[in-house]
Amino acid sequence: MSTLHDPSTRGFASDNYSGIHPEVLDAIAEANGGHQGAYGGDDYTARLQDVVREHFGARAEAFPVFNGTGANVVALSAATSRWSAVVCAETAHVNVDEGGAPEKVSGIKLWTVPTPDGKLTPALVDRQAWGWGDEHRAQPHAVSISQTTELGTCYTPEEIAELAVHAHERGMLLHVDGARIANAAATLDLPLRSFTTDAGVDLVSLGGTKNGAMLGEAVVVLNPELTGPIKYLRKSAMQLASKMRFVSAQLIALYEGDLWLRNARHANAMARRLEEAVRGLPGLTVLRPVQSNAVFAVLPREATERLQKRFRFYTWDERTGEVRWMASFDTTEADIDAFAAAVAAELRG
């Protein structure tokens, strides 16, 4: 098959637009050949357990899945019952970007809370964490946070630990949607366990796709009491890969060494470079500190429409004109400089 696209094309719509990191692609090829046990009975999935425990501690167990939606659905299903609810930010990916999968697949009610920065606090959780014993209200059994959030903000370990204590005191579990967990670790300059295992988190959706994998994430169970249900939930949620070795091999390639962190640091640095380049331009406002690989800005709608004809990126909020620009592991300084120059030219006329 011939190449059907222009490999030089770069955009800022999503880190999902990027290709596969060469080291991950090599890992897939290395895992090919010969026969290995199916459905996780392979050497690569076994090795992944060791790799995950190096990051999250001796009790951690990894269950590879196809994608982030699947990871979140399986994790939240393990943390809840059919009459349960999950408290999350109104902007959370599980609420706005998964086609209702938690509700449709697992029958979970999402109790959402408006937040100014995408981050929950104990006080915000309590806006929806009530009504236990009331048969008319879905019972709050878990809290789900995103690290980093959909608004590009990053929780500190102390903030997550406070949420974990608050949730556990109320009989709830704490789940972390870690689609961009590597970006958070790069921002915090801390190991993964410092704001997961050590902070009291029960379940993590460990990201891969947005950080250089072809496809594949994992549900990482930190609370051993939840391990049993995952085995069955993953299959019933259609997330049990028959040729699992190729998912596991990608996660090994990312997390066995420092590739996951190198990729995230680079993507974060490119986002900061973009923010610094456009800061102060007339008619443009960067709305939040850049704490990951995302830049959120407001600029005139006409300028946005002209720029989108040359570069792919999303309008985040049609009402305000807010846009989102995402950097990826393969975004280059030249990509950023070219885009920033185009933004400046549009705004300066």
- Cβ atoms < 10 Å from Cβ of 257: 12
| Cβ–Cβ under 8 Å, residues 277 and 285 | no
Average pLDDT over the chain, rounded to an integer = 96
Give the list of residues 6+ apart from residue 241 with CB closer than 8 angstroms, or none: 39, 40, 64, 65, 66, 247
* The two three-digit tokens of residue 222, written as one number: 């930190």
Q: CA torsion, points 209, 45, 260, 23, in degrees to nearest 10? A: -80
What is the secondary structure of 55-107 as a DSSP string?
Answer: HH-TT-EEEEESSHHHHHHHHHHHT--TTEEEEEETT-HHHHSSTTHHHHHH-
> Which residues share a beta bridge with 217?
65
* Residue 295: φ, ψ to 5°: -125, 125
Q: Which of 243, 232, 244, 242 is nearest to 106 (CA)?
A: 232
Kindly give the confidence (pLDDT) of every residue in the chain, 349 residues in length, as a single tens digit, with 9 standing for 90 and above.
Answer: 889 998 888 899 999 999 999 999 999 999 999 999 999 999 999 999 999 999 999 999 999 999 999 999 999 999 999 999 999 999 999 999 999 999 999 899 999 999 999 999 999 999 999 999 999 999 999 999 999 999 999 999 999 999 999 999 999 999 999 999 999 999 999 999 999 999 999 999 999 999 999 999 999 999 999 999 998 999 999 999 999 999 999 999 999 999 999 999 999 999 999 999 999 999 999 988 999 999 999 999 999 999 999 999 999 999 999 999 999 999 999 999 999 999 999 998 7
**Gap between the Cα atoms of 327 and 273, Å rounded:** 10
Would you state the pLDDT for residue 348? 87
* Residue 28: φ, ψ to 5°: -60, -45
Distances (CA, A) of 198 to 48, 119, 160, 192, 283: 21, 19, 10, 9, 44
* The two three-digit tokens of residue 208, written as one number: 């891969």
Would you state the pLDDT for residue 349? 74
**Gap between the Cα atoms of 144 and 153, Å rounded:** 15
**Gap between the Cα atoms of 323 and 299, Å rounded:** 8
Q: Which of 242, 240, 223 is nearest to 232 (CA)?
A: 240
Q: What is the 3-state secondary structure (H, E, C) of 283-309?
A: CCEECCCCCCCEEEEECCHHHHHHHHC
Would you state the pLDDT for residue 262? 98
Q: So what's the architecture of 21-255 in CATH?
A: 3-Layer(aba) Sandwich (3.40)
H or E element in which residue 268 lies: helix 259-278
| Cβ–Cβ under 8 Å, residues 331 and 299 | no
List the chain domain ranges. Answer: 21-255, 259-348
Would you state the pLDDT for residue 8? 87
**Gap between the Cα atoms of 172 and 79, Å rounded:** 8
- Please determine, looking at this structure, whether the domain spanning 259-348 carries the CATH number 3.90.1150.10: yes
